[in-house]
Each structure stands twice: as C-alpha cells, then as structure tokens.
Structure 1
Amino acid sequence: MTNTLRFPPADPAAAAAFFAAELSFEADPDDVVRDLAAGETEGFRLVETRGAEAFARAHIPGAINLPHWEMDETTTADWDRGLVYVCYCESFECNAATKGAVALSRLGFRVKRLAGGLRAWEAAGYPVEGHGLHGIGCAC
C-alpha cells in the first residue's frame, strides 16, 4: 500500500463537511483581492493584528490596525457586529492573526483569518501600502 493511501480518505460527505468548515475559518488572498478590486467590501473588514510600527511599514490597502494584545471591549466598542473581521499578520510563521481572531471571537465578533498573511499577499503581487515586508519580522 502506498504512503498516500495508508490512511483511507474520508467518505465524500465527511470530506465535504470538513473542507467547508475549513473555509469558514479562512479567507484566501485571491478572493479578498478580487472583492477589493470589484469594490465588493460590504460584509467584511480587514484587520492587521500586528503592532502600529509594522502596520506603518507595510499593510494591505484599506485595512485597519488593532494589535491583538489591545483587543478588548473598549477598543472594539464602535465596531460593527454585522461585519466579518478578516484578521491577518505577517505570515504563516506569525500567529498574531490567530491571536486576534481568538480575541475578537471571544468578544462576540464573527472572524476569519487571511491565509498566509501579508507575506502571501505580497508574494502574489497584490498591492501593499508602505515599503513592503523587506526586513520586517512578525512584530507581534
């Protein structure tokens, strides 16, 4: 038996449920950039979850900045609870987006995480405001 099939695949219904659930937690940079380009931003807001200095150096156009360690009832008091907040940070190696998503969901917000973060966004050639990620670490 091959290594690939040593563990049999799930039945189609279980696989569909698993992968649909996975998509409910993450947004793909390609989907987000298509929405931004089409002006279809109703329903979601991008949230950069690293510190203000990192945000000033490089961020996705239109994103707001709220570091995950500052997320509480006061800092989010005027946020629209009808929106989905798409949290992002530097990359897969940084967990600030995950920490932000946890904090916001605990505050009662609906959230997703941007797959791959800002590094994946920039690698795909999508626009970044600031100087880009060169020389910037996770800053979370």
Structure 2
Amino acid sequence: MTSQPTAAAAHPVLRVPPASPAAAAAYFGASLAFHADVSDVAAALAADGDPGFVLLDSRSIESWNQGHISGAVHLPTALIAEQAPQLLDPTVPVVTYCWGPGCNGATRAALALAELGYRVKEMLGGFEYWVREGFESETSEGRQRRDADPLTAPVDSEDCGC
C-alpha cells in the first residue's frame, strides 16, 4: 500500500520545512543587524536631534544629481577607500543606499566600509523605495515629493504598522 503525501509535502512552500524557531530567530536577528528599512530611516532623519548614523549615497555624481535623500553624504563606492577617512567619523554607524533592490551598489559600499572598520547597515529598497514611499528627495532643481505608491506604502498614514 502506497501512502499518500501529506498536504504539507505536496505544496512547494513547505517542501523544505521551516527552520527551527531558534535558527529562525538567529537568522532574522542577524538580518536586522545588517539592514535598515526605508521608513525607519525616514523616521530617524525626521525626528528631532541626531539620528545616530550617517546616511551615505554610494551612486555616481550623475545619479546623485538626478535625485538624492536630503542630508545624505555623497560618496561613490569606488571612492570609499580613498575618501571615507576624511568624510566619515569611524565611531558613527553608516547606512548605505544605492538605486534600489535591483542594484547591489549599497551592498558593495557597505562591504567597503566594513573592511575599513566602519559599523554599517544597508537601507533596503534604496533610493527607488524612498521615492516610491513618498519621502522627500532633492535634485538640482530643489526638493520634491511624489505621492506614495500604494503597493509600497500606506497612502493615508505615515505608519505601515510593520
């Protein structure tokens, strides 16, 4: 007699079983140590006082001029080894960003900074999600803000409830 596969085994989601709670806690805890959310970065920058980190845009000058987050430090990845010691305090954590989820520039910038001894996180979603979530950006023509994309942020609230 052949046994029927269990419902869980038949579905791709559970074909590989979930990790143990302890392994999941370690993994997700580590992920939060390496990544920052766009909304959390925006809230920290908007709050009164020092946010406790420096926001670093690792894109080219052309990309920076096309639009960037107000208050960010511009330091293209290729120049980090040469210029970071003059621009960044090694005691202050750095949060890197690049274009968006399809670009690993912020990851490469974070690696370069970590190799120089900086404590660093990567802002998930990059500049794309900053703009898509409706946060203000700056160009050579001044500051601008687009409406929040309802697929990335709540339209009628500052808080997504995450």
TM-score clears 0.5: yes
The one-letter code sitting in structure 2 at the alignment partner of 1:26 is H
Q: How many residues align?
A: 131
CA distance in 1, matches of 2:91, 2:127: 25
- Scaled by the length of structure 1, the TM-score of the pair is 0.87
Correspondence 1:13 to 2:22: yes
Which residue identity lines up with residue 99 of structure 1 in the other structure? R
2:110 counterpart SS class: helix
Match of 1:48 among 57, 74, 84: 57
Distance 1:76 1:63 in 2: 14
Query: How does the TM-score come out when normalised to structure 2?
Result: 0.76
Deviation >4 Å, runs of 4+ = none
2:4 aligned with 1:4, yes or no? no
Q: Rg bigger for which structure? A: 2
1:107 matches 2:116: yes
Match of 1:98 among 88, 101, 107: 107
User: What RMSD in Å do the two structures reach over aligned CA positions?
Assistant: 1.4
* Residue 77, structure 1, aligned to residue 85, structure 2: yes
In 2, the alpha carbon distance for the partners of 1:122 and 1:114 equals 13
Asked if structure 1 preserves the Cα contact closer than 8 Å seen for 2:44 and 2:51, the reply is: no
Report if the CA contact (8 A) 1:61-1:129 is conserved.
Answer: yes
Secondary structure in 2 aligned to 1:53? helix
Higher relative contact order (CA 8 A, sep 6+): 1
Task: State the identity as a percent.
Answer: 41
Q: Determine the structure 2 residue equivalent to 1:28.
A: 37
Distance 2:120 2:102 in 1: 20
CA positional deviation for 1:40 = 4.7
